Amino acid sequence: MRGLRLKGEGKSYYHCVSRVVDRRFILGKLEKEQFRKMMRAVERFCGVEVVTYAVMSNHFHILVGTPETVDISDEELFERLEAAYPPMWVKAHRQVVDEYRAEGRDDLAKDYRQRFLKRMGDVSEFMKMLKQRFSVWYNRHHDRVGTLWEERFKSVLVEDGYALTTMAAYIDLNPVRARLVGDPKDYRWSGYGEAVGGGEKARSGLARVINRPGVKVAESWKAVAARYRQHVYLQGQVQTGKEKGNKGFGQEQVNVVLEKKGELSREEMLRCRVRYFADGAVLGSREFVENIFERNRKLFGQKRQEGARPMKGAAQWGDLMTARALRLDPITVSA
């Protein structure tokens, strides 16, 4: 199942992770800021939704939602192109479509539009475009050649609801686990940090975490911020102030608890590195994981009878399950 990538139907959410080649720590303040700007431009072009993210020194996490398949107008199409390409380039392509329309050759206009539309609304296209664009910028800026990223990006298909809110908290707690900050709001290159700093797109993403479909609990940003902060702190028991440098429990403690079939609390587990969130392929309820398994049955071994696999510390994860058991070190203390 190495490299397994599962996709949902209709509106879907994915936790995507990619690392710098050799895992070198080469992303500084300038690089992180440039990455964020490119991410927002590609987000607009592809028509996806970045729910939250964390750009670290040698890797990044993005929780991204892909939309239902819908047709878009010529005006919407070229507005998206303008977010990612030079104005004169966009103008040239707009003129081609306008000429086809004026001549009554809508079939040719449709075919011409398709070269752009096929790259929109898809998580793989979003990640491909973002990584390629940043690689080109980075290599030019640092007078460098060669591959910047390790292999393919990893992705986990995430169920909307409890799984989505848990994943969002895990991503925004990355800089705390790395002991870069004591409070996740203080890390500028994350969804939570950007939202606290006034970023409208980031605030919209966190509002999506708090306001589930059909359950709107917070209208204003102030209300969303209060809910999300409480959510992150309950999930991660963030250390602040004098405790900022406290490493907490060690890997030996984690191993002893898990080997004895004991349980870490959810708060403790989210302060660890949880491989399920990057390598589990699917994260959600048993029903959700089983549905994805049945739709992708041919990608799994013939002897496998069911898709859902419990996570270590299952009771503390609630009803969350994954598609991969990950028996080897699924929960480890962050370096």
Residue 238 — very low, low, confident or very high, per pLDDT cuts 50/70/90? very low
Sign of CA dihedral 82, 87, 90, 95: positive
Question: HEC string of 134-148?
Answer: HHHHHHHHCCCCCCC
Query: Which pLDDT score is estimated for 235?
Result: 55
Mean pLDDT estimate for the chain: 86
| Average of per-residue pLDDT across 82-88 | 93
| Residue 156 to residue 172: CA distance in whole angstroms | 16
- Domain residues of the chain, as ranges? 12-68+146-333, 74-117
Query: Which pLDDT score is estimated for 271?
Result: 73
Query: Which pLDDT score is estimated for 147?
Result: 93
Query: What is the CB neighbour count within 10 angstroms for residue 131?
Result: 20
What is the token pair recorded at 35? 């990455």
User: Which of 280 and 248 is assigned the larger pLDDT?
Assistant: 280
User: Which of 235 and 274 is assigned the larger pLDDT?
Assistant: 274
| Residue 308 to residue 284: CA distance in whole angstroms | 9
Contact 38, 189 (CB under 8 A): no
What confidence tens digit (pLDDT) does each residue in 124-160 have? 999 999 999 999 999 999 999 999 999 889 999 999 9
What confidence tens digit (pLDDT) does each residue in 47-84 have? 999 999 999 999 999 999 999 887 899 999 999 999 99
| Residue 284 to residue 282: CA distance in whole angstroms | 7
Task: Specify the pairing of strand 321-322 against strand 282-284.
Answer: antiparallel
Query: Which pLDDT score is estimated for 103?
Result: 94
* Identity at 261, one-letter amino acid code: K
User: Which of 12 and 177 is assigned the larger pLDDT?
Assistant: 12
Candidates 3.50.30.10, 3.20.20.70, 3.30.70.1290, 3.40.50.720; CATH matching 12-68+146-333? 3.30.70.1290
What is the token pair recorded at 204? 């919209």
* Identity at 187, one-letter amino acid code: Y
Exposed, middle or buried by CB within 10 Å (0-12, 13-18, 19+), for 62? buried
What confidence tens digit (pLDDT) does each residue in 4-34 have? 678 888 899 999 999 999 989 999 999 999 9
**Residue in 202, 168, 157 with CA at minimum distance from that of residue 323:** 157
